[in-house]
Each structure stands twice: as C-alpha cells, then as structure tokens.
Amino acid sequence: MTFTTRTRRSVSSRLEILKMKLRRIERGRDTWALRWQAVLAVIDVSIISFFIFGPFLRSGPSYLIIDYMIAVWILAELFARAFATGSLGVLLKRPMTWIDLVILATLLFPNALFNFAFLRAMRLWAVGESPLFAVILKRLGCHHYKDVARASLNFLVFLFMVTGFVYTTFFYHQSGLVGFIDALYFTVATMTTTGFGDITLPGPLGKLTSVVTMIVGISLFVRLAQSIVRPRKVLFPCGKCGLQRHEVDAVHCKACGHLLNIPNNND
C-alpha cells in the first residue's frame, strides 16, 4: 500500500467521522449532541434578536459588520448541512434550506433585498423544530405542553413575519421606533381581528395584506386556543392499531379496545 493510498483512506475516514458527528449534532438526543444543540440555539436566539432589533440599529456603524458576520455563519451552516446530508437533492427538499438561502441573500444585499427581511423570523421556527426543544420541555416536566408551546411558537413566528413585512413595505421610511411600533400595532390588531382602524395600510397591497393577515392569524389564534383548552393526552402508540394519543388514565384504546399499559411518570 503506497503512502498516497494510505493518506487518501485516512482523509476519507476522517471526513466520514466528521459527517457522522454533524448528523449527530443535528438530530441526536444524547448529552453530547444536546450540548452542541444548546450552543447553536443560543446563537440562533442571538441572531433572531438582531433581526428583531435591526430596524433600530440599521443607522449604526456596526450594523453591516454584524450583518455580514451572521451571513458568514449561515453560509457555514448551509455547507455543514450539505456535507452531512451528502445529497444536494435531499437538502433542497427541506423548506428551511430555502428559507436560509433567502435570509442569506437579504444579509449579503441588505439594501437591495430589504423587502424580504421579514423572512428572517423563520429562524425562530427552526429553534422550535430542534430536538433540544422537546428535551427541554421534558426535563422541565412540561412535555405535555408541547403542542401549546409549538402553537405559541408558530403564532409568534407569523406575528414577527407579518410585522417585518408591514414594516419594510409600508413603514420603512420612518426612523427609530415609530415605524416598527406602528407595524407591530397594526399586525396585532389585525391578527386578533380587533381592527381599531387608526392605522391602515394604503392601496390594494395593503388591503390584501390585511386580508391574509386576518385569515392566517385568526387560524393560528384558534389553533393556539384549542391546544390550551384541549384535554391533556399522552403519546403512547397502541400495539394493535397504532393510535398515538390517549387520555392520561386510559386503560383501553378508544379506537380498537386493545389493552394499554401507559406508564405513569408520577409514580
């Protein structure tokens, strides 16, 4: 075996180990993976905070520096995901990949693509989809509130997305807090169908924005209310029919009558 062959095999082996570690970080549930996911979640929350408070910082000298640093980070994330997946086709089928590509474009060309900056709020949705989110709820003893937490997160994501869109499209010319607060106020009033009418969006685009915001917003609001008042259920697959959700004190499956043995965590 030549030195070149041994070197190639060594490099190939190291790359395969790196690929396995990246996959483990992305979807693993062991302590090592969860620690890495916690670090990435903190970075994501910091990025989201920058996106939310960006309208107040855009006139500062450090805004573009932070903007391009985040762009480099997201680009590195995309390369890491592409390497771990091993298939560009599989990667492009993930909605988050396209969202990150659009976010990356808005970061690289902030002045030209500021109208699409509202999509940056979708990074918050990625945090909620992480395995770490479910593990944290479980360790806090709140795993039965998982549906409520996800519904709340979806509501917040849509709230910030619409606020960002309304701000960049209709209130971007206003400086400081005024424009962003007006956009947030309009969004909350429209999503909850309160509609005080003191702030309205002009033109056909404004009317269409109001209609879409009301339809989607009230749907998410109803979904959130349902998840709060719905009777608590546990996830336990029935051995016969496969039904997943059952009442906490269920003895038999309500679909097929099969005897269940749901563990009680309080014992």
Domain that holds residue 171: 145-230
Q: Spell out the SS3 assignment of the chain.
A: CCHHHHHHHHHHHHHHHHHHHHHHHHHCCCHHHHHHHHHHHHHHHHHHHHHHHHHHHCCCCCHHHHHHHHHHHHHHHHHHHHHHHCCHHHHHCCHHHHHHHHHHHHHHCCCCCHHHHHHHHHHHHHHHHCHHHHHHHHHCCCHHHHHHHHHHHHHHHHHHHHHHHHHHHHHCCCCCHHHHHHHHHHHHHHHCCCCCCCCCCCHHHHHHHHHHHHHHHHHHHHHHHHHHHCCCEEECCCCCCCCCEEECCCCECCCCCCECCCCCCCC
Domain count, the chain: 3
pLDDT at 267: 47
**Has residue 221 got a pLDDT over 70?**
yes
**Has residue 131 got a pLDDT over 70?**
no
pLDDT at 246: 66
Choose between 122 and 76: higher pLDDT: 76
Average pLDDT for 188-217: 83
Whether residues 222 and 243 fall in one domain: no
Average pLDDT for 175-186: 80
The average confidence (pLDDT) of the chain is 76
Whether residues 85 and 187 fall in one domain: no
**Has residue 95 got a pLDDT over 50?**
yes
In 137-260, beta strands by DSSP E: 233-235, 245-247
Whether residues 50 and 173 fall in one domain: no
| Residue 170: half-sphere exposure toward Cβ, Cα within 13 Å | 23
Average pLDDT for 38-65: 75
92: pLDDT confidence band, cut at 50, 70 and 90? confident
Whether residues 57 and 35 fall in one domain: yes
Choose between 231 and 74: higher pLDDT: 74
| Amino acid letter, residue 63 | Y
For the stretch 132-174, pLDDT in tens is 667 676 766 666 677 777 788 888 888 888 888 888 788 777 7
Residues 124, 48 contacting (CB under 8 angstroms)? yes
Average pLDDT for 31-40: 78
Whether residues 249 and 159 fall in one domain: no
Average pLDDT for 21-33: 74
Whether residues 183 and 245 fall in one domain: no
CATH code of the domain covering residue 212: 1.10.287.70
Average pLDDT for 37-52: 79
Whether residues 95 and 153 fall in one domain: no
Average pLDDT for 64-88: 82
4: pLDDT confidence band, cut at 50, 70 and 90? low
Residues 213, 200 contacting (CB under 8 angstroms)? no
231: pLDDT confidence band, cut at 50, 70 and 90? low
56: pLDDT confidence band, cut at 50, 70 and 90? low
Whether residues 117 and 174 fall in one domain: no
For the stretch 107-121, pLDDT in tens is 888 776 666 666 777
